[in-house]
Structure 1
Amino acid sequence: MGTGRPPVPVHAGDCYAAGNRRRTIDRDEDRRLLASGLTACPHCQPDIDLRILDRPHPAGPVQTADGP
């Protein structure tokens, strides 16, 4: 997006914390970016929505409906 600027975290489409530096990506690209090490937003947690549960989360362990 910007030359020399670090990438921003991946956000869900309706995240209030997304800011101005954003572009729409599909679910496959979202999974690829998260798998490559790009961070997920701790507010909207797109990694949880995509069921990518094996990533460390900055807010600690994530509780799901099925348990920890």
Structure 2
Amino acid sequence: MATKPTSRRPADPFAAAEAVFKKAAPPPPPKAEIPALKEQVTLRIDADVLEFFREDGPGWQDRINAVLRQAAGKD
């Protein structure tokens, strides 16, 4: 029993293309906990306090932020 040859063209090319691309699209990455965004501000700090944090080199802004977080009870 011979089968009837089928057309290579899909009935709806747009729907066929959409189906192919939907299958190929990678799943979205899982939503990770994103830390709070940092906001740029101008802050006046006593020179001796600023020097204390700068003495240890790069990262002094992060160290000031850590101390402020601890003082705010957000640690």
The structure where helix makes up a greater share of residues is 2
- TM-score, length basis structure 1: 0.20
Question: 1 or 2 for the larger relative contact order (CA 8 Å, sep ≥6)?
Answer: 1
- TM-score, length basis structure 2: 0.19
